[in-house]
Structure 1
């Protein structure tokens, strides 16, 4: 998040929050964040998470619809944090400064570890797949439409045309979007997805119990997209130029086995994984172009940009893995 915005939050939003929520200042801790800014605080031996969103990132109706989705998942026993309604009976609080408008959402803090603190195992992958399958099953049965944008309105997709100067890369994205347009969209294939389902947006507890967080990117997309996103970041790992296939083959087997205990998926959609891995590649690439100085990238970012642009411009797949065979061999 922009340093100017963070300063505005600290100087002008936090004092208002402390007053409105009657927060004891010594319990308030800054956590940080990428697109939203996050704090935690405690009250009566219970801990809460505060998420602060700028109006330039989301309009209030988008956040309200996200919360509706989270509440529906929670009511259907999907492992997600509970959204806390304020004393004003609002799930979203609005605060104004001279520079911006901010929306605040409060969640119950989950007593769990993040991905850097918890060892990832085959059982973790299985449980992550199972939880995603449960999310998709609830999404398929939604009775009232939740008004979130589709993948085409994803800001990072738009930013490929706004932030990446290479017209050939833009043309490759247009071609991919045209190909996606030709895919079927029945209710078992396409619906409201998490949108950013990766290891960093899962909290881990004993016995591999998981809690899924951060639905800020939820959107209408094919369900296979969430599967692709989970695989995508494990594939990249610590070196974007050298993806390690063997452990990722095992990861896929455990993950998709867990997924299928809750939700059906056909081999035809598994065969579409390369399309959605590419879609995520475009999204991460545009995010780097938008949020960082291209002349001063960190080594991992620079390596990813170089590798991604080479693959995209030369029509190379994101990864040479036969997911169909892996799926059929289960």
Structure 2
């Protein structure tokens, strides 16, 4: 498969590829004489959706945000169609981002402060982009299949289904305008951020970009850091508070957060928690669950059914409103 992709990419891009390695089922690391690249090959979204996405990310790159630029094909296209095993798929080629994925214990307040600043800039530029290029194909968050919680969470899990429905209803009923809602990354967990030596960040994988409340792009990395990056050496409650403080302060250097939206940060963290639990039911084979998968699902069940507060914001957010 990699050899076939190598030949196809060499035929449509002005780059001399030497090697192609699969990173995931749809992302491939490409080594060329000109440097490192990544090819995304997927029909996860339609041609029009992907073209709108790369128009957006290329705009962000040109405006100076840390985003990987796309490479235009020899046909002058940013999204190309190729055929693999008699199936037509879409490909986008990206220049590799500078830096690397840092270790868990390096996701401290300093790094998350800078991430908050970059997210603030991202949302400020998103508003400008939508004035120039009104979106036609990018979904509002609730239109995406991943938010169809009641379709995937089993009917017998009545408590969790009630919580999921309540969260969805509350968020859908929030009044939205261009100060609190618009185009955003949508999946800024820490694996989608690379960092170089000078603390310069690059955000990658905009495939799940959507229209949502901007606060969601802050909730996701806070959730991600608490869930995956705390490695001990202190109190996890204080860790959560310190990184939340840092990311909010960084954001506010570049952009304003409406007071009423900042107060809803815990609500969007709960949305992310339900989102992750629903994905387990969406993608995992319930007939072949491993012991680790069962453990993780039960961990989520206990948190959600017992109304466990994932992030202690008691007294924290008042300093920013």
The TM-score, its normalising length taken from structure 1, stands at 0.85
Cα deviation, 1:192-247, whole Å, max 9, x if unaligned, reads: 110001211111101211111110110010000111001111121279xxx92111
Instruction: Give the one of 127, 152, 155 matched to 1:140.
Output: 127
* 2:8 is equivalent to residue 16 of structure 1: yes
* Residue segments in structure 2 that go unaligned for 5+ positions in a row: none
2:316 corresponds in structure 1 to 326
2:259 corresponds in structure 1 to 267
* 2:197 is equivalent to residue 206 of structure 1: yes
Instruction: Give the one of 21, 24, 32 matched to 1:30.
Output: 21
* 2:176 is equivalent to residue 185 of structure 1: yes
1:309 corresponds in structure 2 to 301
- Asked if 1 retains the 8 angstrom alpha-carbon contact of 2:6 and 2:20, the reply is no
2:152 corresponds in structure 1 to 163
1:261 deviation in Å?
A: 0.2
Matches within 5 A, 1:277-296: 277-294=269-286, 295-296=288-289
* 2:238 is equivalent to residue 251 of structure 1: no
Change (3 A) 1:31 1:259: farther
Partner Cα separation in structure 2 for residue 129 and residue 184 of structure 1:
24
1:153 corresponds in structure 2 to 143
Matches within 5 A, 1:26-175: 27-33=18-24, 36-43=26-33, 45-53=34-42, 55=43, 57-98=44-85, 100-116=87-103, 119-142=106-129, 143=131, 144-146=133-135, 147-158=137-148, 160-167=149-156, 168=158, 169-175=160-166
Change (3 A) 1:238 1:22: closer
Change (3 A) 1:318 1:307: farther
User: Secondary structure of 1:28's match?
Assistant: strand
Partner Cα separation in structure 2 for residue 88 and residue 166 of structure 1:
50
The TM-score, its normalising length taken from structure 2, stands at 0.87
- TM-align CA RMSD: 2.5
Instruction: Give the one of 219, 222, 230 matched to 2:221.
Output: 230
User: Secondary structure of 1:83's match?
Assistant: coil
Change (3 A) 1:126 1:67: same
Partner Cα separation in structure 2 for residue 298 and residue 116 of structure 1:
26
Partner Cα separation in structure 2 for residue 261 and residue 42 of structure 1:
38
Cα deviation, 1:300-320, whole Å, max 9, x if unaligned, reads: x43432132233334x14415
1:3 corresponds in structure 2 to none
